[in-house]
Structure 1
């Protein structure tokens, strides 16, 4: 009898346990909120839908805490929760499961650390008796399951409102909604992470409340919930409205003016007045061919009365040989590796190849194709040096995606991109396009890698996912490619990149050129196009991208379109409405001349040449084929560090070192005082003091002096008498130390 009773009791306990398990694991509608705290233990808790969002919302899996590469104090989570399986294993199984106590959930290490009941380097993250606390406790009490039965999947996240126009110091609230595969929704506003791109314009708190600053402006605010990202655009227009129809009568040269004026009208910002001919002349010379106009060229342009003289000047400049070196030099920053790593001959050939593309005016799509699909000898085809420098598919993928798509995939190499949609699977599938790149010959042997190497397309070469070890087929970041088994996968990649359906290819190059000509890109940095870094004028970026495509990716045509717009010709002098504008090109943004351009300006002003090692005599600074060639001047004014890998970014800011260099450089002083230089020639000539002053202003500032400048400078030269060479040299030194010489207005 006791045995039969024990058997019946055992069966009843089994049935009861099964009923409890079914009740606990019943799926809860994703669109509902958690029950009240006293009943929360009865609601089934999902690790992926309930627990991980708590960890993300409280920063537990952030890069500064347990989400960093090696974790924190022996506890590692995937960055921002991109790998749910890894996180569940880390919490529930690693360290012999010591982080959880199923029988006493409140005593779990996970709970006591988060509530600071035990010492925690991150401090208190969760308050006892909060909703988050009860959710975690309930999940642990339920056995810390990885998944629930019939658990829905988070499919998307949306902001109820994405565009805000706030008055100065105004407020508003973001509202974030998650959408699930079973058709339910959930308000996740308070569990979402927010970040303002410019907190001085708009601040955002942890609950999505926006607070505008006191000055007009605009910025973007990112909302991230479980690797789903959305962006809200917030603008603070000026409270003082423009006169009715202000932009109706403004001159418009092309669609650039239309779209810039439309944006300025929305923000109630008045564009600056047009720049003078002299300012335009200096601006377009330094932008298009990287040098100042000579005194004769400046005088000829300023004296012309032709209404189309600016257009004719641009056509003339685009055909000058200096155009090639100026623009090739900029791409060399993005591509050219260290000769001590890949070999001097390989780098020299690479540099020559880049310059040859600009000599032939190769279209940008063909430039990309020749480079990305390059094969052959590093001694005969300079483009293959790319694959001598970047030796693994993942290294090539990061460079190609950044330069030709404006997509920085580096983060996705190790984990889901924290600010974008790209995953590890996306990254290594993209890298697989370069899996069959083979090499034979002499490999690298730094610091002297002098041998020849042949790059070819191999019949084998796999790229595997680093976590799953799955062999990945080449796949673009979006869309599809036509990939034949016997073809070079790189050809299919380029076909996809340059197709009209891929806006990234055209837009990143448009943005790069716009930044060079206008002082700032629509997107900054110029090769970081992503939803969380939106363009300042998306309509214009899109229009210019389409224009670039339709022109056959002709860079000269793009440059001409930009520099002949009235926006490009605007003065850099601000007015009361646009003094704070740094995004919308209501005025020309002043910036220091590029190092090589400034070096050429010194050479032109002084009528001297600089000598570079490993270059022919009288070579120009923008013909230098490696940053390893020494130049204190170029280094001082922002030439990239020769030890950095491409793509290299320049330091555009001015510095005290640059000012001191111009004031104290013995080399600069020697060039001013050179017996074959301009000062010596002018002093020995029969030119009057007035004529000398005019030539100096035309040569150094590309303009004629004002009446006051003319009188003062004439008096200096006249007073010096027979010693006027010294006065001319001193005057040149003063002019070349003036901001007008260093800064493009």
Structure 2
């Protein structure tokens, strides 16, 4: 049922290659010839379990070799028509069921690109024969409807190399249930931690960890959480004695106790100082600020520092720059003036401390001129309801709806109707003006709520009313349906709204989201700590969607202040924040850090003198350093994805940059100033370390650097320049520990 060599991107949906559904997996007790066989309840599950309707086979758009099925069996009417009626009914032979093309292809009796998918004589084979022999009916008399699927057990605590079985039950509208374990398809999120076979048998790997295992039966998905704790149990008093600063620590510890993992030791004051500066305001502390904090004996100095940072003007630029990444349109498409106004609007929201729900509402319901209301640029950039729906659902709900645009979402419950009904909220967005004329598009455009506009289902052609993904919103009753959408999105009944932003903020500060990717909240991608995600979202919601309140809660938790140095139990922890996860600093932070430590400003075109990288409002402003350190391409489809990994290119750039060399050796830079000062060699070395790393040098570092400065007779500038250059090129400068 698949052409030889067809291996597209949806390979993971093809059980033959993923190893999650064998061709001869037993169906269960085969029906008696007199028992009615249902296409929807008996035949379709066989096609799904055999992989016939997978994305790499007949379930892909356009089908395979003239035979198309709905992806994973989400459209029973379409599939019945394809099997029974299409191709003049040649796929079935009622008088000789075993001669049916459907049977002969599936058993590889005749050439078939997919090979043998159903074993002759197996229970699946007998069920198909019986169905065809009975006349290949669409429905049986009083046929029930599949209502739900459950995992008999969905939480497992396994030892290394231990086996455990999943059992799946299907519940029907007539009150009956069926064991469908054999017809279910399984997929482990991390096969190295836990692998799963076609019959639902899981095997724990040799190393501690945790993952989720998906079980899909037809259009129903359930997830089992599997945890493999450390072999040696923790001392019973370890976590009861651990420091707790707020609710975050309690929930982090509760999860770690279950996995048998110890938290790392607390980070030093200097590490915390550099971490919180770069995280909250995107810049390094000055040597004077570092010295003041490190020398302070106040027990509340961290609290006071966080309060101070949240009021700094750099906070605005740092966070507005990050949101500009997510919302920034292509200037070649919408025009430079519109991009500038959009960027100014985003910064204004952070300057005014606008609550997050109001920030989102102003965006979603934006009206007016793109030259006067920057938020309206969203609708200049996104021209169709479908484009807007994809952006809004992913950014503000954490729901990636794009798959449902063409077919039922393979890993979620969203259908094509869900997608286009959601898009219908934007069907009446009107536009007046010159429109787009890339690559210039310099004209003004006015966005308004029109009394016309509709969205149709691409298959049925029916006009769809605006409907939210769940619950009700009353979009048809309002002049501008977007107002109803904003009400629904920001409602306290919508958990997605607070969760996705709380998760995004958590990932920024902790190095990894509770859900990864941060904007992909779905049942098959469960949070590593559901209780913590719920608590963060609740705290955020109850604060009035105050981002600063959420930030303060996170950075003052003990979990945030842990060292990044692992202990014997948490070396393999990548999910539960038993230590701080090291990550490279954002490109703009590195660029501004270089300006600060060298005491030389960067001149950015289209910006005022002395401007900082966090104030750059379009990526058309040239910067080789920002491009090298992951600045996204504006020609890509937003939300723009930044590459946060370190690379050889970045290392080579810092080592060989002519611009960096010029700034280190500038006559008006820090190295020249220190060389001409009356500071002792020890004081010079200390200032360099405080400026670059926010800490004082260790005894070993002093014993190396100070004699170097003493070797020169009155001319220590070249040595200071070399030391400064070496520090900027060290991992400690660009990696947040």
- Following the alignment from structure 2 to structure 1, what is the Cα–Cα distance between the partners of residues 79 and 719? 75
Tell me the residue number matched to 1:342.
334
Within 5 Å, give how 1:313-712 maps onto structure 2. 313-483=305-475, 485-712=477-704
Q: Which residue among 72, 92, 97 is the counterpart of 2:64?
A: 72
Could you tell me whether the CA contact under 8 Å between 1:204 and 1:211 is conserved in 2? yes
CA contact (8 A) 2:451 2:479 kept: no
The DSSP-based 3-state class of the residue aligned with 1:399 is helix
CA distance in 2, matches of 1:469, 1:36: 42
Say if 1:256 and 1:562, in contact at 8 Å, map to a contact too: yes
Aligned length: 712
Q: Give the corresponding residue for 1:307.
A: 299
Q: Which region of structure 1 is more displaced relative to structure 2, 159-168 or 144-153? A: 144-153
Q: Report the secondary structure of 2:477's partner residue.
A: coil
Which of 233, 238, 243 matches 2:235? Answer: 243
Q: Could you tell me whether the CA contact under 8 Å between 1:35 and 1:43 is conserved in 2?
A: no
Question: 1 CA distance for matches of 2:208 and 2:570?
Answer: 10
Residue in 2 aligned with 1:10? none
Report which stretch shifted further, 642-651 or 519-528. Answer: 642-651
Quote the Cα distance in structure 1 between the aligned partners of 2:562 and 2:478. 54
4+ long deviations beyond 4 Å: 33-37
Q: Please say if residues 190 and 207 of structure 1, whose CA atoms lie closer than 8 Å, have aligned partners that are also in contact.
A: yes
Within 2, Cα distance between the matches of 1:739 and 1:381?
A: 43
Structure 2 contact 634–640 (Cα < 8 Å) conserved: no
Does structure 1 retain, via aligned residues, the 8 Å contact 2:478–2:484? no
Q: Distance in 1 between matches of 2:456 and 2:514?
A: 36
Contact 2:164/2:203 (CA < 8 Å) preserved in 1? yes
- Preserved CA contact (<8 Å) 1:481 1:493: yes
Q: Distance in 1 between matches of 2:82 and 2:672?
A: 77
1:145 aligned residue: 137
Match of 1:123? 115
Report if aligned partners of 2:434, 2:445 keep a CA contact under 8 Å in 1.
yes
Cα separation, 1, equivalents of 2:286 and 2:731: 19
SS at structure 1 position matched to 2:715? helix
Q: Distance in 1 between matches of 2:562 and 2:572?
A: 16
In the alignment, structure 1 segments of 5+ residues that lack a partner are 1-32
Distance (Å, rounded) in 2 between the aligned partners of 1:475 and 1:36: 42
**Gap change, CA 1:34 and 1:63, over 3 Å in 2:** closer
Normalised by the length of structure 2, the TM-score is 0.95
Q: Which residue of 1 aligns with 2:723?
A: 731
Partners of 1:144 and 1:660 lie apart in 2 by 67
Contact 2:425–2:475 (CA<8 Å) still a contact in 1?
A: no
Q: TM-score, normalised by structure 1?
A: 0.94
What secondary structure does 1:42 align onto?
Answer: coil
Q: Tell me how far 1:427 sits from its aligned partner.
A: 1.3
User: Structure 1's 340 and 499: CA in aligned 2 closer, same or farther, altered over 3 A?
Assistant: same
Mapped partners of 1:629, 1:356: distance in 2: 21
Match for residue 49 of structure 2?
57
Q: Distance in 1 between matches of 2:211 and 2:641?
A: 24
Equivalent residue in structure 2 for 1:226, among 202, 218, 222: 218
1:22 is aligned to: none
Q: Is the 8 A contact 2:369 2:445 kept in 1?
A: yes
**Residue 121 of structure 2 aligns to a residue in which SS?**
coil
Q: What does 1:165-184 correspond to in 2, within 5 Å?
A: 165-184=157-176
C-alpha separation in 1, matches of 2:477 and 2:572? 56
Is residue 212 from structure 1 mapped to residue 224 from structure 2 by the alignment?
no
Q: Distance in 1 between matches of 2:133 and 2:249?
A: 64
Deviations 1:521-564 (A, max 9, x none): 10000001111111111111101111101110000111011000
- Helix, strand or coil for the counterpart of 1:633? helix
Measured after TM superposition, the shift of residue 502 of structure 1 is 1.0
Give, in angstroms, the shift of residue 487 of structure 1: 2.8
Shift of 1:579: 0.8
CA distance in 1, matches of 2:465, 2:375: 25
> What displacement does 1:35 show?
9.3
Cα offset for 1:486? 4.2
**Contact (CA 8 Å) 1:271, 1:578: kept in 2 or not?**
yes
Matched residue SS, 1:472: coil
Q: How far apart are 1:102 and its partner, in Å?
A: 2.1
Q: For residues 428 and 352 of structure 1, what CA distance do their matches in structure 2 show?
A: 32
Q: CA deviation at 1:391?
A: 1.0
Deviation at residue 344 of structure 1 after TM alignment:
0.9
- For residues 141 and 336 of structure 2, the distance between their equivalents in structure 1, rounded to whole angstroms, comes to 63
Q: Could you say which residue in structure 2 is the equivalent of 1:280?
A: 272
Matches of 1:722 and 1:556 in 2, distance apart? 50
Q: Deviations over 1:359-389 (max 9, x none)?
A: 1010000000100000000111000111111
Q: Deviations over 1:639-658 (max 9, x none)?
A: 11221021011111111111
| C-alpha deviation, 1:628, in angstroms | 2.2
Shift of 1:626: 1.4
Deviation at 1:158, TM superposition (A): 0.4
Aligned to 1:41, the other structure's residue is in SS state coil
CA distance in 1, matches of 2:66, 2:600: 64
CA contact (8 A) 1:272 1:575 kept: yes
Q: Is the 8 A contact 1:34 1:43 kept in 2?
A: no
Q: Is the 8 A contact 1:574 1:587 kept in 2?
A: yes
Distance 1:330 1:35 in 2: 54
Q: Deviations over 1:647-672 (max 9, x none)?
A: 01111111111111111111111111
Give CA deviations for 1:678-737 in whole Å, capped at 9, x if unaligned: 111111112111111000000001000011111210111111233311111111111111
Shift in Å, 1:609: 1.4
Q: Mean alpha-carbon deviation: is it higher for 224-233 or for 475-484?
A: 475-484
The Cα of 1:149 is off from its aligned counterpart by 2.4
* Distance in 2, Cα, partners of 1:687 & 1:631: 35
1:570–1:588 contact (8 Å) kept in structure 2: yes
Report which of the two structures shows the higher radius of gyration computed on alpha carbons.
1
